[in-house]
Amino acid sequence: MAKKVGVLTGGGDCPGLNPAIRGAVMRGLDFGYEMVGLVEGWRGLMEMKTTPLSLEVVDGIISQGGTILGSSRTNPFKSEDTAKVAGENFKKLGLDALIAIGGDDTLGAANKLFKAGFNTVGVPKTMDNDLSCTDYTFGFDSAVSVAVDAIDRLRDTARSHRRIIVVEVMGRHAGWVALWSGIASDADWILIPEVPADMNAMCAHLKGLGNRGKQWGIVVVSEGVVLDPNQADGIEKDDFGNIAHLAGQDLAKTIADYVKQATGIDTRHAVLGHIVRGGSPTIFDRVLGTRVGVKAAEMVEAGDWGKMAALQGNDVVAVPLDKAVGVSKTVPPELYDLAKIFFK
């Protein structure tokens, strides 16, 4: 029976992390667990930095964005030596179980820790909504809501000045944020990583808007869209091997310059970047974060190790981490076809 349970949040922050922490702690207290937070994700395990997670600590944090535990992109399995330290520190901290809250990288590390013989469970988190085996991840709804609000404001400027505005949103490998925010904000074109960018078709469409009396336009683009196959060469990467700073590629500016040259229409660009990560979580993300956090504590109580709490339909269920990590959930072609209906 677990007595001391650790909780960590790894990778990029997003709204919903605090509700998930709160849900796990509240349910863990029901089982009589001592709940402790590992500070700054896997770095907390590697450096043995912990903080108590009591009722008083988590009470009221459901409305707060970010994570009270802090986060990092530390990879405990970067080498054999770091993996050994991770296992040793797990024992030194006296942990009976660990709840890892994060995306593919964080949960991938949790899966490796489980396979090394340690009691771990996972909670899926990513504003990109690209984790497999779960219909939605908390952070996504909040991010899209912020993006849509920003695009709605940019539309007013585009209309007033008879401009096209290219809006770049987050999404490294999957275009869920771009697609959802583009559809919801009545964008005139959407570019996502899953579909090769047809710049000529896009520019012809944007230029043709004037034929129906529309003198402005909005293009939403995911930061992971590839215009040049060699564009990732030499770009800084994090401990997990992911490109660390996609914003440094000036994708939105490159597209805006191309559109202006091809169409002759005054074009501007805006990069929303980390703005969509912050702020209070939406109601959907507060409830989803709470539910998967609670489920994680219940999985600990049941000894259901090596699994994560996933939303499937309206149910939160335990699914093997092996099936959930390593393969991104990308936008299927039929959903992009849905968006194309509105490129008129």
Among 113, 111, 138, 109, residue whose Cα is nearest residue 124: 138
What's the confidence (pLDDT) of residue 135?
94
Write the pLDDT tens digit of every residue in 140-196: 999 999 999 999 999 999 999 999 999 999 998 899 999 999 999 999 999 999 999
Write the pLDDT tens digit of every residue in 86-123: 999 999 999 999 999 999 899 999 999 999 999 999 99
What's the confidence (pLDDT) of residue 245?
47
Write the pLDDT tens digit of every residue in 265-290: 999 999 998 999 989 999 999 999 99
Sheet architecture: strand order including 164-169: 189-191, 217-222, 164-169, 267-271
**SS3 of 315, please?**
strand
Write the pLDDT tens digit of every residue in 211-258: 888 999 999 999 999 887 665 554 555 555 555 545 456 899 999 999
**What's the distance, CA 237 to chain centroid?**
17
CB 14 within 8 A of CB 128: no
Span between the terminal Cα atoms of the chain, in Å? 60
What's the confidence (pLDDT) of residue 232?
52
Please identify every residue annotated as catalytic: 128
* pLDDT > 90: percent of the chain: 85
Q: Label residue 185 exposed, middle or buried (CB < 10 Å: 0-12, 13-18, 19+).
A: buried
Indicate the average pLDDT of the chain. Answer: 92
What's the confidence (pLDDT) of residue 94?
96
**pTM for this entry:** 0.90
Does residue 130 surpass a pLDDT of 90?
yes
Write the pLDDT tens digit of every residue in 180-223: 999 999 999 999 999 999 999 999 999 999 888 899 999 999 99
CB 6 within 8 A of CB 36: yes
CB 311 within 8 A of CB 291: yes
